[in-house]
Amino acid sequence: MADIHYVTQEGLDNLRDELAKLTAQRPIISAQIAEARDKGDLSENAEYDAAREAQGLLELKIAKLQDMVANARVIDESKINTDCVAMLNKVKIKNLANGSVVEYTLVGESEANFKEGKLAAATPIGKALLGRKKGDVVEVQVPSGLLKFEILNISI
């Protein structure tokens, strides 16, 4: 069974744009393979091998994007509330070990960008925050050990 990918409408549009760009590259790579094939013996043709490898990688990316688009569920931003942590909520949390405060927006994997404060809900921290309320203390097992966070605020 395929995994559901939760995205915003903007995120879905970006996935579709990227898919269209990659699909447009298929004829270019096919032409490169044909050109390399015309150069003779395929067993010793590095150009042919490289073009075939590029084609394989492109097809893999296309298949992954097609799966993501086919299984995308657009989140209705108008139905988001701040009673408990859900997708697209901004969550301000305090690390109880060192007192640092950070704010993340929970998003789907394809939209995650740590530099922009967009945390994938599928990460250990994201999973631990989902469904929790303001004031809750959340324990998260991460590779470096156990972290404790307090949820300071939930907003849109």
**CATH number of domain containing 102:** 3.10.50.30
- Spatial CA neighbour of 50 closest among 64, 36, 39, 60: 36
Label residue 145 left, alpha or beta by phi (over 0 means left) and psi (-120 to 50 means alpha). Answer: left
Is residue 67 located within the same domain as residue 83? no
- How many folded domains does the chain comprise? 2
Could you say which of 46, 74, 102 is where a domain stops? 74
Per-residue pLDDT of the chain (156 residues; tens, 9 = 90+): 457 777 778 888 988 999 999 999 999 988 888 888 887 766 677 888 888 898 999 999 999 889 888 888 887 777 777 788 888 889 999 998 898 999 999 888 888 888 888 998 888 998 899 889 999 999 998 888 899 999 999 888
Helix, strand or coil, per DSSP, at residue 126: helix
Apex CA 78: angle with CA 76 and CA 82, to 5°? 105
Pair 18, 66 in one domain: yes
Task: Tell me, yes or no, whether 60 and 118 share the same domain.
Answer: no
| Residues 61 and 110 placed together within one structural domain of the fold | no
**In a shared domain, residues 100 and 137:** yes
Give pTM, 2 decimals.
Answer: 0.64
